[in-house]
Structure 1
């Protein structure tokens, strides 16, 4: 799911997906035969980039699915909602920058609901000829085959966040490439039990540090860490990366770009299930009569299913699922911060977030952004990135303005319209936020500014 949900409701640390063949490694994701727990640690040139994205959305130079590779992966984890699909995860590979950056996408569903989105792994080819893997996805046979088809060894595996939906796949993915070094975002935590990384099958991991020049990829990929104070039951941590030669910014959940059309990896079955007028639609129909006719498999219904998915992911309880098009049009085709992340996290630590995004915009001259969900790559620059965070200006006012340039300041002012969310759709999320603050589950505001 869009990791905003895992910020509020971190996934359980119960590894029910430890299901594998008797001779396979821990968390292998192989065909289901028996249970086994094995906590034994594993044994011990990028061409000039070309702009491949359109003016407003993700661009693709090629898309590949692997013939004959199994898409089976048993996964039944996550608290309080398990993460689907539970058995079948097809992988779509896209070449984002020729011979340099590839995107691997799978569907990810919220438990037994009809709400799905895509989850993305990004692979960069380093000058050494090896591969740098960002936010691994489920290592199905198909997925691993698509990685191996790149014809280069996996040298580094990076977990850029604390979020369970990304953490759960690092262990099993690393088992497929035992020679790779693993790096993880700092301050890892889990809930309801705060367990060590080894419990997730992640061994001998090194910690990603802010602006660390000692990493083996530092000459090609730079990094900046957002490590907030605890805003609830744990801190929000995300590491942004900048691939210098391709001028690409990689984030996990900081910003998103909702495409008009559903990602290719989301199945028609999921889209049509979302298009059905179920209980959620009845509750959020504003008292209108909800028809109960069968859902026919056609473009209109698949599109309706996608629009409903997006609004539920962004707002939890949007104002009107019966007729989602108007709200969807306000949230799609632009770079934004997810309403959930904005409300429950970033608005709690505005100074800390401002430090982070200003540092990114000041130091990195990116022309594309690759998030871990929704569309990618997104044709966006520093001004677009700053504009997505225009809501911070209202929270910080004049007391904390450190713009890198007048141009970015103007863009931020203009970006307030882009960060506008429909008030009716925000009601449920705002009420939830107020409730969580009232019971002490989420803090109202947390100072995150560094003292001079």
Structure 2
């Protein structure tokens, strides 16, 4: 059964420490286009009732930028959530919401912590809201509608007109119904071919009623003159198809994806609680198993920045690789995976490598038709100042699967993307062993197909 209940509780709170990575393009017309000097992120905590404006050191893909982040102590963070078979999605009782203005007066990001069951592994989950020319709000991938979250949405001073589910994935689907009931006049739109496991339940079971289904490159959607979309709808790669919808906001030249690409920041997202980071820094069973035979010290965890950073690095490696080679000393592997636009190793191995032709058609269409300059995924860092070449580079692994017969865009930009992608999509072989073994096992038992189409022979 799925049970999702929201109850306000003004006494609830979650400690937060780190500043989110925020990247802004100074050429954006919404932001005035002024140059910004690079500043070091501040370590001192501001009063929680004030907005925070930071300029942080950016990665090679991005210019130095600033966003306005709103934190509150208004309460209303209690949200009972014990769902997600076979791994429940936490936090189970408290979810703090962080709002960031990504494009001034136009695009806002709302983030909450998302934990995997009872483990100490957490990441952030993101909802993006775009203000349309009509004055209404377009909501992408809703998050838990706590009292705090809904208040932050209402503070934008505009009605919610559309709520969009851009994927089949459970962690995004589960909040669409509860969120839509907070805004009953809004239209709900969903990605096609929705399914669930172990039971393929209808959307109504998740509280999603009277939803309209998106069609590929459909120009009849009520927001089509401002936001375009392209659908990746693959053949079944295992127990069900992989479906994701990419959106392009033309006025701000922003690409929105769900899980297609990620950008792991050096420091943890601010919405992840300090308690979660310190719990991940402890030398538990997972660390002992993945310590390469080294002695694992039993020592208390001191509440400091170093341990928070260690906890974040361990979280990232477990999320990306499931069983990384060395959790005791995560620095080297983390450095190879952070600060660049990549496809997640799990998505690459278990999904995209199975349907390379479908993925290539999708990303080539995105790069061909949309002149985006920033990308907003649903996890890790955002917004990311990235060009079409950066985006193509993250998918350079498809060239090895498809071969020269499927080559497109015979241009210098494609050559640059391919060369850059060889480094950008590099995954440490030792860290990939567990994921590769899992892939082989799933193929052997028929849970995942070896390939659906297009693998180079």
What TM-score do the two structures reach when normalised by structure 1? 0.89
- Tell me how far apart the structure 2 counterparts of residues 119 and 173 of structure 1 sit (CA, whole Å): 15
CA-to-aligned-CA distance 1:161-194 (integer Å, 9 cap, x gap):
0000000000000000000000000000001111
- Tell me how far apart the structure 2 counterparts of residues 95 and 414 of structure 1 sit (CA, whole Å): 30
Q: 1:124 to 1:142 in 2, by over 3 A?
A: same
Corresponding residue number in structure 1 for 2:347: 341
Select which of 260, 263, 269 maps to 2:266.
260
**Correspondence list, 1:18-417, <5 A:** 19=5, 29-31=6-8, 48-50=29-31, 54-55=58-59, 56=61, 59-403=65-409, 405-417=411-423
- Tell me how far apart the structure 2 counterparts of residues 272 and 343 of structure 1 sit (CA, whole Å): 30
2:440 corresponds to 1:434 = yes
SS of equivalent to 1:264: coil
- Tell me how far apart the structure 2 counterparts of residues 281 and 232 of structure 1 sit (CA, whole Å): 30
- Tell me how far apart the structure 2 counterparts of residues 291 and 301 of structure 1 sit (CA, whole Å): 14
SS of equivalent to 1:62: strand
CA-to-aligned-CA distance 1:212-241 (integer Å, 9 cap, x gap):
100010000000000000000000000000
- Tell me how far apart the structure 1 counterparts of residues 161 and 91 of structure 2 sit (CA, whole Å): 29
Deviation at 1:412, TM superposition (A): 1.6
Deviation at 1:404, TM superposition (A): 6.9
Corresponding residue number in structure 2 for 1:8: none
CA-to-aligned-CA distance 1:262-306 (integer Å, 9 cap, x gap):
000000000000000000000000000000100000000000000
- Tell me how far apart the structure 1 counterparts of residues 184 and 256 of structure 2 sit (CA, whole Å): 24
* Contact 2:89-2:117 within 8 A present in 1 as well: yes
- Tell me how far apart the structure 2 counterparts of residues 69 and 171 of structure 1 sit (CA, whole Å): 22
- Tell me how far apart the structure 2 counterparts of residues 352 and 296 of structure 1 sit (CA, whole Å): 48
- Tell me how far apart the structure 1 counterparts of residues 410 and 111 of structure 2 sit (CA, whole Å): 34
Deviation at 1:65, TM superposition (A): 2.2
* Contact 2:402-2:454 within 8 A present in 1 as well: no
- Tell me how far apart the structure 2 counterparts of residues 405 and 74 of structure 1 sit (CA, whole Å): 52
Deviation at 1:60, TM superposition (A): 4.0
- Tell me how far apart the structure 2 counterparts of residues 241 and 213 of structure 1 sit (CA, whole Å): 13
Number of positions where the alignment pairs a residue of Structure 1 with one of Structure 2: 412
- Tell me how far apart the structure 1 counterparts of residues 297 and 229 of structure 2 sit (CA, whole Å): 51
Corresponding residue number in structure 2 for 1:7: none
- Tell me how far apart the structure 2 counterparts of residues 48 and 125 of structure 1 sit (CA, whole Å): 15
Deviation at 1:418, TM superposition (A): 1.0
Give ranges in structure 1 of 5+ residues lacking alignment. Answer: 1-13, 20-28, 33-46
Deviation at 1:448, TM superposition (A): 7.2
SS of equivalent to 1:108: strand
SS of equivalent to 1:186: coil
- Tell me how far apart the structure 2 counterparts of residues 268 and 331 of structure 1 sit (CA, whole Å): 22
What TM-score do the two structures reach when normalised by structure 2? 0.88
* Contact 1:307-1:325 within 8 A present in 2 as well: yes
Give ranges in structure 2 of 5+ residues lacking alignment. Answer: 10-27, 37-54
CA RMSD of aligned residues (A): 1.6
CA-to-aligned-CA distance 1:416-440 (integer Å, 9 cap, x gap):
1111100000000000000000010
Q: 1:198 to 1:448 in 2, by over 3 A?
A: farther
Deviation at 1:318, TM superposition (A): 0.1
